[in-house]
Structure 1
């Protein structure tokens, strides 16, 4: 079964915004639709919600669609960007920014359906691909293997990904990271998501616990105790003494 998409639609012209939302609402492959009427609202929405794709107008005051696409490219797991515009001249610049698609207004129903189909296909391929993570480091983007990440730590609106030798600050919600990484990582605390394969020791009590990851002690919350005990039963990790 294909996972349905969560999307954000951004346009400063209300009729265009509402029209595209209505078109997407009629597609059974779309789950949740968020909307924004400005670039500032779009960035705020992306900070609050995990989305698979952003349908983005180009010409908007303050922050243009091009500006927002540049910001999205710096995300740890950026959503696909579909530009929706009446401007035919920005296509080259858009695809230089790794745009997934470029739809011209007025949007044709069949063309939108095809774009959503391709988004679903791309999401399936991404889910099946070798797990990699794009991170910012020293002003540039680099790709690291997810298997090298020991644990993720919540830091306000950001997440710090810790590897054996360094760490990287990325913008993504902890709940979305937990959903994407699945059973390979355990949510041991509201602030920590740890790699099960990198846990070296565990000590559990009646109301709290500790796990050791890469030589670092991390707390296990009371709520997460059953999850960690279940992991112990499956992997037979040695308990701390």
Structure 2
């Protein structure tokens, strides 16, 4: 069993790197989208708020696997029609795009809740000191919002990290896919699935430690 794992350790580590790339890319893009949508959901006009919350509700109501299929196969159909020849969407791009769309919906709700938790008095105090609204938001509201949102953001990061395994269904050679291939080739599924589990736990453990350090640093003023 150990010999089989050693034989495939390079491929497993390569799959782990791909998993982390997908997770980081999806979280980063999703967070950027949510950073735009969350303020619109709170301060936007009624129609804008309804559109944003409609998007959040729609995506949260769909299975992540279905979103992956829609982006991968739908993107392939769209690109094929535009190019006039068969063009398949890259599995990595489809994975990041799909998980970004899903993450953006959940992150929007997390940031919206954190933004609403900052009292109106913080705005009033900043404006009374002569701050314009953009500066008041950046220097006063944003730090408090991020401190309150960090637990939810951290949880969503861990969810995305594990959901990256779903992208293997469209052929992405991430950790889960590498483990399945190695298990099939060696007929030792338990060994490779336990190894994959250990690698996931290792990455999530490091993430948890880093998140706790960030939470301690950002929430000092709240204690």
Q: What's the TM-score, normalizing by structure 1?
A: 0.23
Larger strand proportion of the pair: 1
- Higher relative CO (Cα under 8 Å, sequence separation at least 6) belongs to 2
Larger helix proportion of the pair: 2
Q: What's the TM-score, normalizing by structure 2?
A: 0.25
